[in-house]
Amino acid sequence: MYRLIFILLLSSTIPVMAQSEQPKQSKKPSQPDNLIPLPEVPELPPLSEPPPLLPDIEPDSELETQVTIIKRGEDTIEEHRVNGELIMIKVIPRIGPPYYLKKNTVGSNPTHEGEPGINVSPPMWQLLKF
């Protein structure tokens, strides 16, 4: 048992002794000797006249999106309308991600076949946002 302990102690001290016997090397400089400084950034000339202002454009109230928020229990429903026409519904459930119901823009190919008059695309979830 003592032999095993002696061998373990000896094996741990040999690498320490080998490291301490090496001569100390001088530290490398933090920067190389052949660096060239970057040129100074020139100042911009002053503007002779101020930039032109954007024209005042009145927003068209008919093209603005009108949002109606409806609470049903713990769920929230947002109805988005343009010019009085319902274009999108955003459903925000209490549990889970929100999903969207949009107006089907393809008139000749209805999404729900066999049910005339339904003009809504299937529910859509937002996967990526930039």
CA distances from 66 to 70, 72, 84, 90 (A): 13, 19, 8, 13
Q: What is the domain range of residue 74?
A: 65-105+119-125
Q: How many domains does the chain have?
A: 1
Structure tokens at 59: 């927003």
| Contact status, residue 75 vs residue 81, Cβ threshold 8 Å | no
Judge whether 83 lies within some domain.
Answer: yes
Name the percent of the chain lying above pLDDT 70: 74
- Per-residue pLDDT tens digits for 51-89: 788 888 777 777 788 899 999 889 999 999 888 888 889
Residues of the chain with pLDDT under 70: 13-29, 105-121
Identify the CA nearest to 80 among candidates 109, 46, 103, 97. Answer: 103
Question: Exposed, middle or buried, 61 (CB in 10 Å: 0-12/13-18/19+)?
Answer: exposed
Q: How far is it, in rounded angstroms, from Cα 14 to Cα 4?
A: 16
- Give me the CATH number covering residue 95: 2.20.130.30
pTM: 0.44
